[in-house]
């Protein structure tokens, strides 16, 4: 192989790497901006938000990116919950995504649990007494 070919191949690999890195950077900037905007919007209206991320901060692969929740204003024992898929940048919404999110909301499972901290034993105690089955 001649030196010119090797340089051309190196230049091509470098160009591809820069292109991928730039796309990754733009996607993460758009994701962070989307999260910030959603959080500000919801909190201004009395909602709290929790984002689902991996341990490294990377988004998960499921349809649900976040949940918005608030306690009922006139019924303090009522929880109002919204499942959210967060889009950023130029990403569009597909009918398939809407169907998946609706199915996730329909399949939502809610249960109850009481957690009491025992200061003497320095341990949590749970009612019902089957936390392994609940978590």
Q: How do the domains of the chain map onto residue ranges?
A: 3-134
Q: What is the mean pLDDT of residues 70-89?
A: 89
Average pLDDT score, the chain: 84
Q: Is the pLDDT of residue 3 over 70?
A: no
Q: CA-CA distance, 102 to 100, in Å (whole number)?
A: 5
pLDDT per residue over 87-134, tens digit each? Answer: 876 778 899 999 999 999 999 998 888 888 889 989 888 887 665 555
Q: CA-CA distance, 68 to 128, in Å (whole number)?
A: 26
Q: Where are the alpha helices (DSSP H) in 44-110?
A: 95-106
Going from the C-alpha of 84 to that of each of 38, 56, 81, the distances in angstroms are: 10, 20, 10
Residue with tokens 């089957």: 130
- Higher per-residue confidence, 56 vs 33: 33
pLDDT at 80 (0 to 100): 93
**Full-prediction pTM beyond 0.85?**
no
């Amino acid at each position: 192989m001649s030196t010119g070919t090797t340089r051309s191949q190196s230049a091509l690999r470098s160009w591809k790497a820069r292109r991928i890195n730039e796309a990754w950077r733009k996607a993460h900037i758009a994701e962070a901006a989307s999260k910030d905007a959603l959080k500000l919007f919801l909190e201004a209206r009395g909602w709290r938000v929790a984002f689902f991320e991996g341990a490294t901060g990377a988004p998960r692969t499921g349809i649900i990116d976040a949940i918005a929740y608030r306690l009922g204003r006139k019924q303090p024992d009522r929880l109002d919950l919204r499942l959210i898929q967060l889009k950023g940048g130029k990403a569009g919404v597909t009918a398939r995504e809407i169907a998946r999110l609706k199915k996730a909301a329909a399949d939502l499972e809610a249960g109850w649990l009481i957690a009491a901290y025992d200061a003497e034993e320095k341990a949590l105690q749970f009612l019902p007494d089957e936390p392994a089955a609940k978590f």
